C-alpha cells in the first residue's frame, strides 16, 4: 500500500504546448512543442501510416490539491496524432490535510484542442486514480474544422478499492465541450461524489467510471453502433453506447479499469475500421500484457 504524500506548501503550474503538422516531403506527421514541470514531452514514434504517437510524462508522481496543469494541442490540416500518457495519473487526497484549507483544494487540468481541416487526433491517456479525499476537475475544450476527427477517452478509479479505500468526501468533475466550425456538437458535464457514488443513477457502488467520445467527420452507421455493443462480450461491468449526430459516445461503470480500457480499445479499433484506416497498435508505453482486441 502506497501512503499519501505529506501536504504540499506549494502547487505545480505545469503547461505543455503540442503542435502537429504534415511533413512537406513525406506523408508523415511531425511535432514540435514545449513543456514546463512537472510535464515532460517524451520521445515520439512514427507509425507506418504516418501518424505521430506522442507520450506525455508527469514527473511529480501525482497531483495534490492546488496543482494546475494546462495542455494545449493543435493539429494543422491533414495531420494525424495519438497523444497518450506514460503512466496512470494519481490525485492525492487534500480534504482535512491542511489547517489552512481543511475543506481541501482542487487539482485542475485544462485541455484545449484545435484541429484544422481533415486533422485527426486520438487523445488516449492512461487511467486516473483518485485517492480518498481527492478533489479533481478537468475542463476539455475542442474546436474542430470541417472533416476533422477527435477521439477522446478517460477512465477514472474513485478510491483505491483494492486496498478497501473509497473516495470518501472527495469529488471528480469533468467538462467536455466540442464545437465544429463554430457550432456546438457536444456539451458533456459530469460530477461524481457524495451520494452519486452509490446511487443507481450514478456509479451504483462501482469504483470505476469511463467515458469515450468520438467527434466524427461524418455521421456514423447503425452497424458500427451494433458492433461496438457486441465488443462488450467477456468484460465485467455495465457498458452503454449511443450515436451522436456525428460520432458516438460510450460509458462504462464497474469494478475494473482493465475492462473499461479493453472495451474502449476495441471501440478504437472499430472506429479506425469505420474510417478505412490502419488497425491501431497499442502505444509502446501502455502496460498491457495481453491483447485487448480479442
pLDDT digits 0-9 by tens, 152-174? 999 999 998 777 788 999 999 99
Return the SS3 of 168.
Answer: coil
Contact indicator for 278, 272 with CB cutoff of 8 Å: yes
Helix H or strand E segment including 268: helix 257-274
Task: Calculate what percentage of the chain has a pLDDT beyond 70.
Answer: 96
The residue behind cell 463554430 is 182
For 56-69, write each residue's pLDDT tens digit: 999 998 999 999 99
Distance CA 259, CA 253 (A): 10
Cis peptide before 134 (omega within 30 of 0): no
Question: Of 212, 188, 192, nearest to 203 (Cα)?
Answer: 192
Mean pLDDT for the chain overall: 92
Residue 14 predicted with pLDDT over 60: yes
Give the distance from CA 10 to its chain's centroid.
26
Taking the CB of residue 21, how many other CB atoms lie within 10 A of it?
Answer: 19
Return the minimum-mean-pLDDT range out of 9-13, 104-108, 121-125, 229-233.
9-13
Q: Which cell numbers hold the place of 209? A: 467510471
Length of the chain: 294
Contact indicator for 83, 122 with CB cutoff of 8 Å: yes
Beta bridge partners of 57: 40
Question: Of 204, 284, 273, nearest to 238 (Cα)?
Answer: 204
* Predicted pLDDT at 9: 47
For 264-288, write each residue's pLDDT tens digit: 999 999 999 999 999 999 998 887 7
* Predicted pLDDT at 294: 65
Amino acid at each position: 500500500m502506497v501512503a499519501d504524500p505529506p501536504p504540499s506548501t506549494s502547487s505545480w503550474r505545469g503547461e505543455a504546448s503540442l503542435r502537429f503538422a504534415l511533413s512537406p516531403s513525406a506523408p508523415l506527421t511531425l511535432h514540435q512543442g514545449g513543456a514546463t514541470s512537472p510535464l515532460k514531452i517524451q520521445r515520439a514514434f512514427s507509425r507506418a501510416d504516418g501518424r505521430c504517437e506522442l507520450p506525455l510524462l508527469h514527473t511529480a508522481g501525482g497531483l495534490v490539491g492546488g496543482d494546475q496543469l494546462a495542455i494545449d494541442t493543435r493539429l494543422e490540416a491533414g495531420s494525424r496524432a495519438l497523444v497518450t500518457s506514460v503512466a496512470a495519473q494519481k490525485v492525492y487526497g487534500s480534504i482535512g490535510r491542511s489547517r489552512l484549507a481543511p475543506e481541501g483544494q482542487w487539482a485542475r487540468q485544462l485541455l484545449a484542442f484545435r484541429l484544422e481541416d481533415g486533422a485527426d487526433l486520438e487523445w488516449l491517456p492512461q487511467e486516473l486514480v483518485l485517492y480518498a479525499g481527492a478533489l479533481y476537475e478537468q475542463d476539455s475544450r475542442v474546436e474542430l474544422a470541417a472533416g476533422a476527427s477527435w477521439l477522446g477517452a478517460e477512465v477514472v478509479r474513485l478510491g483505491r478499492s483494492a486496498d478497501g479505500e473509497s473516495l470518501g468526501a472527495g469529488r471528480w468533475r469533468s467538462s467536455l465541450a466540442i464545437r465544429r466550425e463554430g457550432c456546438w456538437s457536444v456539451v458533456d458535464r459530469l460530477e461524481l461524489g457524495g451520494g452519486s457514488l452509490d446511487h443507481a443513477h450514478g456509479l451504483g457502488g462501482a469504483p470505476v467510471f469511463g467515458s469515450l467520445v468520438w467527434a466524427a467527420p461524418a455521421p456514423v452507421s447503425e452497424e458500427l453502433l451494433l458492433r461496438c455493443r457486441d465488443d462488450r462480450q467477456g468484460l465485467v461491468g455495465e457498458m452503454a453506447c449511443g450515436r451522436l449526430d456525428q460520432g458516438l459516445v460510450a460509458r462504462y461503470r464497474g469494478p475494473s479499469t482493465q475492462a473499461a480500457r479493453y472495451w474502449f480499445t476495441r471501440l478504437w479499433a472499430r472506429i479506425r475500421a469505420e474510417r478505412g484506416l490502419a488497425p491501431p497498435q497499442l502505444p509502446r508505453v501502455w502496460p498491457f500484457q495481453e491483447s485487448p482486441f480479442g
